[in-house]
Amino acid sequence: MTRAFATLASTLTVFAAASLTDVMPRIDARPHYSFAGSDTLALQIQQGAPADVFLAASTKQPTDLFQAGLAYKPVVFATNELVLVVPRSNPAHIKSVLDIGRSGIKLVIAAPTVPVGAYTRTVLSNLGMTRALANVVSEEPDVRGVLAKVALGEADAGFVYATDAGAAAAQVAQLKIPAWAQPRVRYELAIVRTTRHLAEARRFVQRVLSKAGRAKLKAAGFGLP
């Protein structure tokens, strides 16, 4: 049991936003990953969860942890955009983002504390479409929850990142959001101060920020800062 615990303790644990589920193992398959909403992961770190590195779909959570003395200085490593997704069959005949304000539309979005949920509300505000919130039938804990509901036909539309929409192109179609209505979506990473694997955590960060890491992010549809 002691040997097993030692092996576990020597493994880097990376907490990462759900939208990074597909790309992070391509950049580095060695760490143990925990994917979820950035707000949930940040709360777990605040409560003492044994994370070594935190990658969020926002600058808010890593910056908050840094200011609280729980993480080293964060670094922006990727960008993204929001899109509206509909099931491939598109039963509600949604042709533009403006259609989600129609009566009877079933809209699914992320909770307001999740980065993609906050970004969604910014988009609706920028478009003058906050009335569409009356059509929300579900608020999900992360972007993959939103994507799944739309892909399964449990909702007529939902807001997700362009990278998630691209990864599920067989199940959903995406509708563009005007550039002027887009929020500024920046992904930030930080090493957690309680890490017992600081050197390994720094090597992981270097791999993410390396030319090869950036190339994999770009191939997955992320923007590069």
Q: Which domains, from first to last, does the chain contain?
A: 2-79+184-219 (3.40.190.10), 82-181 (3.40.190.10)
3-state secondary structure of 154: coil
What pLDDT, on a 0 to 100 scale, did the predictor assign at position 109? 98
**179 HSE (CA, 13 A, CB side):** 0
Q: Where are the beta strands (DSSP E) in 88-203?
A: 107-110, 136-140, 157-161, 172-175, 185-191
Residue 3 is predicted with a pLDDT of 38
pLDDT score recorded for residue 8? 42
Interatomic CA distance for residues 185 and 223, integer angstroms: 10
pLDDT the model gives residue 182: 96
Considering the entire predicted model, what is its pTM? 0.91
Residue 196 CA from chain centroid, whole number: 26
Residue 1 scores a pLDDT above 50: no
Q: By percentage, how much of the chain surpasses pLDDT 70?
A: 96
pLDDT band at 4 (very low <50, low <70, confident <90, very high): very low
pLDDT at 118 over 50: yes
pLDDT of 113 strictly over 60: yes
Average model confidence (pLDDT) for the chain? 94
Q: Give the E-state strand segments of 37-93 in sequence order.
A: 53-56, 75-80, 82-87
- The amino acid sitting at 212 is A
